[in-house]
Amino acid sequence: MSAQTPVPSLLRGFFEDYLAAQRDVSQNTIYAYRDACKLFLRFAARHRGRQLIRLQLADLGVDTVLAFLTYLESDRKNSAATRNCRLVAIHRFFAYVADQDPRHAELCRRVLDIPLKKTTSNSMTYLDQNEVKTLLAVPSARHRLGLRDRALLTLLYNTGARATEIVQLNIKDLRLDTPIQVRILGKGRKERVCPLWQETADALRAYLHQRADETYVELASAILLTTRLTDTTTRRGTSRLHIIPGST
């Protein structure tokens, strides 16, 4: 491997061999790194006046990376936090390259020495208990989507889990008899078991009961929370629920 090594071959090894096979990182992490690399490579191709598929490792040095970070903040108006996320992906790629061929250690070291920017942490906002009760009372128990939304919101409140973790649950992850609990797969593929309240179990039972006529619901691997068309609910979908109001 030399500085003239085509970048596409490095990327294939980074994503397929290193991230997926060796490190076994989550699919969400791979997607995040993919998006960061895609932005970086498109910028580098313009910056160096090359076709993207003709980029060489030498085209991606510290000057190009610094110019890319400036582009993110000045042209794309990205926050420091977003800029840092892109830089972390680039750091991970160059760490992989350095490990594959130490002859590029100096080029990689200069990129890896680019620091993350300091960011400010905003105070976390939250709903008080009465506000949560009001929210949970909104979905109508007379409609299928209302039952799903009530189960989703109650499960989020009970577990404190990330939306991504909740929408990836399968029915087999639930235990609705004593002890009532749910098995959640979190970041880094770390599994945890969370106890469920009786109210949460009741909401889940009501939702699953009206799906009893669907043959796929009997499968252990069936998705717990689905859309109107029985597709998996997405994290983005949970942020814009079309809640059907009604009395309980």
Same domain, 41 and 101: yes
For the chain, the first-to-last Cα distance in angstroms comes to 66
Q: What percent of the chain has pLDDT over 70?
A: 86
Query: Mean pLDDT, to the nearest integer, of 74-98?
Result: 97
Bond prior to 179 in cis (omega within 30° of 0)? yes
- Which percentage of the chain shows pLDDT scores above 90? 65
Residue 23, pLDDT above cutoff 90: no
Under 8 Å CB-to-CB from 41, ≥6 apart: which residues? 7, 52, 55
Residue 103 lies in a domain: yes
Q: Would you state the pLDDT for residue 247?
A: 46
Give pLDDT, residue 79. 95
135 and 232 assigned to the same domain? yes
Beta carbons of 28 and 164 less than 8 angstroms apart: yes
Are residues 152 and 66 part of one domain?
Answer: no
How deeply is 94 buried, as exposed, middle or buried, from its count of CB atoms within 10 A (0-12, 13-18, 19+)?
buried
Q: Verify that 138 and 233 share a domain, yes or no.
A: yes
At 226 the three-state DSSP class reads strand
Q: Taking 80 as the threshold, does the pLDDT of residue 52 lie above it? A: yes
| Same domain membership, residue 104 and residue 61 | yes
Q: Are residues 137 and 231 in the same domain?
A: yes
Judge if pTM exceeds 0.85.
Answer: no
**Domain range holding 69?**
7-112
Alpha carbon distance 2, 5 (integer Å): 5
Shared-domain flag, residues 140 and 102: no
pLDDT at 219 over 70: no
* Domain total of the chain: 2
- Of the given ranges (22-36, 97-111, 206-220), which has the lowest mean pLDDT? 206-220
